[in-house]
């Protein structure tokens, strides 16, 4: 049944609805003002061409110019004027007010300019919750915005994305033919995810390869088994963490207990292509090595630091440990790796991590939608910023596409070499 127009409902209901969206609409108006400000600002720039060694050089003036209207008080009636103009005059009628409403909220969050702060409509919010539980349907790849491009953080092990050949650091240039330039992260995620058995076409760019390549990937049910471990030759325990989700704590504690009983010569903790997850889970994992002290700091907008201290028994602190990281190690993985590096409880081998070091909190709304909002930045125990910087390995060892295709793992080889010398 078609939803009635906002202009057709009684005044009392209309007033209630306006109050309901007022907060979010103000944010949207600020966002629109910001965009208009950029346009107006650019129109005031004066570019002068000069010649230096035969080359033209541009000089930009008025970089700090700020349009006057950005300093004015906001008249909220302007939002309703815009709403009614759209509703009454847009060429494709009737206008879907629900989409307009959720679009206002999404635009408000997007105005922050933070790729990790996202508005989720009720359906997307449910999908995100399912992912944190370790279940969702899609291609099985963590994505983020890096250098203004939709980027593969990590394909999950045994996922359609990994089987298709996607690699950490790949950029998604188009999704089913739609150019991703300027595309929001949440919209890209919604286009890539879909029911099991359906196909999505991704145009992928890769460093070192000139021409983009199209990948046709069949979506599947993704079940993330976050913890795996086994004993290798020479009494080395290999412990792989794929994610920090709801089932990680229990599975990790069980693995630690079993590893301790084996009394290994050393431990390899593999955090490669682990895109992160819950903060508390990352702290609990780190606490099996760090007996006392700060695991990670949260730096708030006012500059204050909140300490997140060790919570565990540090049952693994006396075992020589090597941590494997790469460009797909992000978020919670970087918390673990950064703490073990700062406390000199492990040797880090591999490649520089992704550099996603910000704290997001989910704020649920009454209709099932939610806002994932960045509220702080992460610092290692030595107060090194993670966001945008990443964690550097102690020993850099690259794993090339050729290594991957030939099932070679020089990073693992180096880890075994280090531990067998101890």
CATH number, domain at 412? 3.90.226.10
Q: Tally the domains of the chain.
A: 3
Asked if 144 and 13 sit in the same domain, the reply is: no
Active-site residue among 121, 170, 270, 342?
Answer: 342
- What b/e sequence results for 110-137 when a residue is b if at least 16 CB atoms lie within 10 Å of its CB, and e otherwise? bbbeebbbbbbbeebbebbbebbebebb
Q: Read off the pLDDT band of 43 (50, 70, 90).
A: very low
Asked if 232 and 359 sit in the same domain, the reply is: yes
The domain boundary, picked from 200, 223, 246, lies at: 223
Q: Give the pLDDT confidence score for residue 25 in this predicted structure.
A: 46
Active-site residue among 33, 331, 333, 369?
Answer: 331
| Residue 338 domain-assigned (yes or no) | yes
Asked if 160 and 15 sit in the same domain, the reply is: no
Alpha-carbon distance values, 297 to 284, 331, 335 (Å)? 15, 13, 10
Q: Which of 45-59, 100-114, 316-330 is modeled with the greatest confidence? A: 316-330
Asked if 233 and 362 sit in the same domain, the reply is: yes
Tens-place pLDDT, residues 164-182 = 999 988 999 999 999 999 8
| Residue 201 domain-assigned (yes or no) | yes
Asked if 288 and 351 sit in the same domain, the reply is: yes
Asked if 337 and 380 sit in the same domain, the reply is: yes
User: Is 64 one of the catalytic residues?
Assistant: no
Domain with residue 196: its CATH number is: 2.30.42.10
Nearest to 385 by CA among 338, 341, 352: 338
Q: Identify the bridge partners of residue 204 per DSSP, sorted by sequence position.
A: 172, 213
Q: Give the pLDDT confidence score for residue 343 in this predicted structure.
A: 97
Asked if 212 and 242 sit in the same domain, the reply is: no
Asked if 212 and 329 sit in the same domain, the reply is: no
Active-site residue among 356, 370, 372, 414?
Answer: 356
Tokens of 191: 């286009």
The domain boundary, picked from 177, 205, 223, lies at: 223
Q: How far apart are CA 157 and CA 171, in angstroms?
A: 19
Asked if 145 and 98 sit in the same domain, the reply is: no
| Residue 129 domain-assigned (yes or no) | no
| Residue 255 domain-assigned (yes or no) | yes
Nearest to 386 by CA among 62, 197, 116, 25: 116
Do residues 242 and 157 make contact, with C-beta atoms less than 8 angstroms apart? yes
Range of the structural domain that residue 196 is part of: 135-223
Average pLDDT over the chain, rounded to an integer: 82
Alpha-carbon distance values, 157 to 80, 231, 282, 328 (Å)? 49, 19, 19, 12
Name the E strands within 271-414: 294-299, 305-309, 321-325, 347-350, 358-364, 370-379, 395-396
Q: How far apart are CA 202 and CA 150, in angstroms?
A: 11
Asked if 208 and 231 sit in the same domain, the reply is: no
Least confident window among 23-27, 253-257, 342-346, 415-419: 23-27
Q: Give the pLDDT confidence score for residue 148 in this predicted structure.
A: 84
Asked if 211 and 343 sit in the same domain, the reply is: no
User: Is 394 one of the catalytic residues?
Assistant: no
Asked if 84 and 27 sit in the same domain, the reply is: yes
User: Is 356 one of the catalytic residues?
Assistant: yes
245-252: average pLDDT = 90
Pairing between β-strand 213-218 and β-strand 199-205 as defined by DSSP bridges: antiparallel
| Residue 250 domain-assigned (yes or no) | yes
């Amino acid at each position: 049944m078609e939803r009635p127009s906002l202009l057709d409902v009684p005044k009392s209901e209309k007033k209630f609805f306006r109050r309901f969206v007022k907060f979010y609409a103000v944010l949207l108006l600020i966002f629109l003002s910001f965009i208009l400000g950029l346009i107006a600002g650019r129109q005031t720039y004066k570019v002068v061409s000069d010649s230096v060694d035969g080359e033209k050089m541009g000089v930009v003036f008025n970089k700090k110019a700020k349009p006057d209207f950005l300093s004015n008080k906001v008249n909220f009636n302007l939002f309703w004027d815009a709403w009614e103009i759209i509703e009454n005059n847009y060429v494709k009628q009737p206008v879907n007010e629900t989409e307009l409403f959720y679009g206002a909220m999404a635009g408000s969050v997007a105005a922050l300019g933070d790729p990790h702060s996202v508005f989720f409509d009720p359906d997307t919010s449910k999908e995100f919750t399912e992912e944190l539980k370790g279940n969702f349907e899609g291609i099985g790849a963590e994505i983020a915005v890096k250098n203004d491009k939709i980027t593969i953080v990590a394909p999950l092990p045994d996922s359609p994305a990994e089987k298709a050949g996607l690699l950490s650091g790949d950029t998604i240039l188009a999704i089913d033919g739609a150019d991703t330039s300027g595309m929001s992260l949440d919209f890209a995620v919604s286009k890539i995810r879909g029911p099991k058995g359906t196909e999505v076409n991704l145009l992928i760019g890769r460093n070192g390869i000139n021409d983009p390549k199209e990948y046709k990937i069949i979506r599947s049910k993704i079940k993330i088994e976050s913890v795996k471990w086994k004993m290798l030759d020479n009494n080395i325990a290999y412990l792989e963490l794929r994610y920090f989700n709801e089932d990680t704590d229990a599975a990790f504690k069980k693995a630690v207990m079993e590893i301790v009983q084996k009394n290994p010569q050393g431990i390899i903790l593999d955090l490669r292509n682990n895109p992160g997850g819950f903060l508390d889970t990352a702290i609990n994992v780190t606490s099996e090595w760090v007996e006392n002290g700060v695991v990670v700091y949260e730096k708030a907008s006012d500059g204050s630091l909140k300490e997140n201290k060790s919570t565990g028994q540090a049952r693994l602190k006396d075992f020589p440990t090597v941590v494997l990281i790469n460009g797909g190690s992000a978020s919670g993985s970087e918390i673990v790796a950064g703490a073990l590096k700062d406390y000199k409880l492990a040797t880090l081998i591999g490649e520089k991590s992704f550099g996603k070091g910000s704290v997001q909190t989910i704020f649920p709304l009454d209709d099932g939608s939610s806002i994932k909002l960045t509220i702080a930045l992460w610092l290692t125990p030595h107060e090194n910023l993670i966001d945008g910087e990443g964690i550097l390995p102690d020993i850099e060892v690259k794993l090339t596409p050729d290594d991957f295709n030939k099932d070679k793992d020089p990073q693992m080889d180096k880890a075994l070499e280090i531990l067998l010398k101890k």
